[in-house]
Amino acid sequence: MIGGFDTHTQQPGNLARLLTETSEAIHAFWQDIEAHGHADDVLVMTWSEFGRRVSENAQLGTDHGAAGPMFLFGNTIKGGFHGEPPSLSLLDNGNLGYTTDFRSVYATILERWLDAPADDVLGARFDPINIFVA
């Protein structure tokens, strides 16, 4: 298990190490998936319920913020950046603003990947996002 992403202190060195460990673990996982012939059957998503603030704190880290990245990968996902990047000049009390509602991503995965009714699961309707290869 990889942990310690709550980088309030010494973020530069700690985050680099954590991202390397995560990258190596994901790479090993995906190699196993491909070796067993299931690469078209697997979608991986990572997201946190909070992001990081834009400004560094006094301990060379960053405190909890609002928006944060979501990563999706798999053979059925369109590569690239989806959505608009957040503005560094339009901060909300020091936080990045959301440009894509994570529930739209969830709804898309529920409906188009899992063939499940997103409205029932999420309790509301969210517009799908064009993230899957046709």
Q: Please report, for the chain, the start and end positions of each structural domain, with discontinuous segments joined by +.
A: 11-100
pLDDT above 80 for 100: yes
Name the more confident of 90 and 8. 90
pLDDT above 90 for 12: no
pLDDT of residue 40: 96
> Which pLDDT band holds residue 62 (cuts at 50, 70, 90)?
confident
pLDDT of residue 43: 97
Mean predicted confidence (pLDDT) in 72-76: 96
Instruction: Measure the N-to-C terminal CA separation of the chain; round to a whole number of Å.
Output: 34
Cα 1 to chain centroid distance, Å, stands at 18
| Residues 48, 66, 7, 71, CA torsion sign | positive
